[in-house]
Amino acid sequence: MPAASSFNRLLEASRVYFKEHFRFDLLAGVIVGLIALPLAIAFSVASGARPEQGIYTSIIAGFIVGLLSGSEFQVTGPTGAFVVILLNVINAHGIEGLMLAGFMAGVILVIMGLCKFGAIIRFIPYPVTVGFTSGIAVIIFSGQIKDFLGLNFEHRPHDFIETVAMIGSRLAHGINPGAVVVGAATLAAYFLWQKYVKKFPPAPAALLAGVLTSLILHAFFKGMAAPATIGAIPTGFPRLVLPVFSLEMMRSLLPSAFTIAALGAIESLLSAVVADGMTGKKHDSNKELVAQGVGNMILPFFNAIPATGAIARTAANIRNGAKTRVSSIVHSLVLLLILLFAAPFARHIPLAALAAILMMVAYNMSEIAHFKHLLHSPKQDAAVLLMTFFLTVFTDLTTAVGIGVVLAAVLFIHRASQLTVYESLSEIEPSDSEEFRRLEASLHGYPQIVLYKVAGPLFFGVASEFENRIRHNKGEILIVRMKYVTQIDATGIHALEIIVDRVLKNKGRVYLSTLHPRLMEKLTKSGLVTELGGERYLTKTSAEAIEKAKADLAALDAAAA
């Protein structure tokens, strides 16, 4: 009976879905599938892989992640953010190395999701994100100049500097006018479509314009050198292959796998956040990481390149009326049908047209406006931005993101460590002026008693500054008011220990007043309270510390008499 009841509920839910939502998901899925086709091919070629591998990625990742995703509207596939790192892996380890790196990245993503790392990804500083995204855009754009101009390279360049050098050397041999015409026509179609037809993204129309231009040149301008095309794409389902698992290669690919995983996590979660903003719904970030991980673990078994959530395709999915994750599955099926029945026609796609589309993708992802805005931010943020940008362009993404995050963290520590040490009562801020006027009056005639007020976190970033600011003369009684010290670490405690030791050796005393209970507990556990002479030297108020200090002086005078 319960089984029959569950079946009836499922049947009713299916009936409601097909009546109310399916037509919206079907339309959105078809449109996004058409949008994804040129992008999947372009990103795959730019990454150094075969055109069909990008289509395989969109089909398999779109289906699997669509089923498991933590976002109802996420569309997954190859993206521009991956181009640089995937190209580097292929240059160093070949396509087999990329398959293994993709599988390892999938495992890392699953672990990140199971360990609830979804929220941690959001703490990557904004200047770092803009810096490496803009750097990737520069590398993608420069990498397309070759095909846009129809240049011939002896081999695939390994980095930005070699790319620029090879472009310069090959320009002396001339360009291919046919490629330039096709590329220019594609750019023109892209601009015009983007300006006048805003609902539907421009990539498919621009690609069609490039193909038609190439065919016209071939038909009517026989004397013009034909632009290079992507060549034949195999038809049929992706074949199941077994990645080459090598312990030595896994060890060498580990940094790249971590970069792919981190970049995939950032891109997927940003895409999910964009979807949340457009729909008002909330995604499950940890579930999304697991879904992306599972998808990337399966992709290498079908000779497909790594994938991540695609912001542009996800946004297009929502704008075209998607209601559920079924739209992503429909998008995969559309691409599969194209692969099965229309792949032979893809051999006419000119590389110059793909290059023009990727140039526009690079321009759109460069975030020029945000980059310029951050340059006018505080100098520390601008430094992080530029450091990440230049390291991305001239070294590699792994180094850029790692150093960018570390530099941002160091600068954050510097900002958070603005410790204030007031050395006299006249420096106390107005909020404490009434209380400190009374304290000043009580200290009149007692030059041996010195009062300091410390405000801010007392940790390794400022411990040495704190230690240097506290001065002490022989026989003085030091009162350190710590009401506004919110945090203290081992280095801060050690700085206090040095101060206390120095004062005690100078025949003085140290009182710590208005301590927060958590700080008092830490100081007690560290043994500092014992070194002070016991809890007598921890006071609830500065006035109490002053009275005890006066009593100490009176006792010393009596002993001297």
Percent of the chain scoring above 90 in pLDDT: 41
Mean pLDDT taken over the chain: 87
8 falls within a domain? no
pLDDT of 122 above 80: no
pLDDT in tens, 500-513: 998 898 888 999 99
Residues 465 and 507 in one domain: yes
> Which domain CATH number covers 428?
3.30.750.24
10 falls within a domain? no
H or E element: which one contains 260? helix 247-279
pTM: 0.75
Instruction: State the number of CA atoms in the 13 A half-sphere of 354 facing the CB.
Output: 30
Residues 55 and 79 in one domain: yes
pLDDT of 95 above 80: yes
271 falls within a domain? yes
Domain tally for the chain? 2
Q: Are 46 and 144 in contact (CB under 8 A)?
A: yes
Q: Tell me which of 385, 411, 437 is where a domain ends.
A: 411
User: What does residue 539 show for φ and ψ, rounded to 5 degrees?
Assistant: -120, 155
393 falls within a domain? yes
Residues 196 and 103 in one domain: yes
Residues 489 and 396 in one domain: no
Residues 236 and 379 in one domain: yes
pLDDT of 429 above 60: no
6 falls within a domain? no
Query: How far is it between the farthest Cα atoms of the chain?
Result: 117
Long-range contacts for 280-284 (Cβ within 8 Å, ≥24 apart)? 281/72, 283/69, 283/70, 283/71, 283/72, 283/74, 284/70, 284/71, 284/118
326 falls within a domain? yes
Residues 388 and 427 in one domain: no
How much is the pLDDT for 430? 46
Least confident piece of the model among 16-20, 144-148, 506-510, 549-553: 16-20
Residues 184 and 128 in one domain: yes
List, as one string, the DSSP characters of 199-214. SS-SHHHHHHHHHHHH
pLDDT in tens, 288-318: 999 999 999 999 999 999 999 998 899 889 9
Residues 352 and 371 in one domain: yes
Q: Tell me which of 392, 411, 430 is where a domain ends.
A: 411
Residues 308 and 372 in one domain: yes
Q: Tell me which of 357, 388, 411 is where a domain ends.
A: 411
Question: Across 229-238, 325-334, 375-384, 542-551, which has the greatest mean pLDDT?
Answer: 325-334
Residues 242 and 308 in one domain: yes
3 falls within a domain? no
4 falls within a domain? no
Residues 60 and 103 in one domain: yes
How much is the pLDDT for 434? 66
Residues 298 and 433 in one domain: no
Domain region containing 259: 21-411
pLDDT in tens, 144-202: 999 999 998 877 887 889 899 999 998 888 899 999 999 999 999 999 998 888 777 88
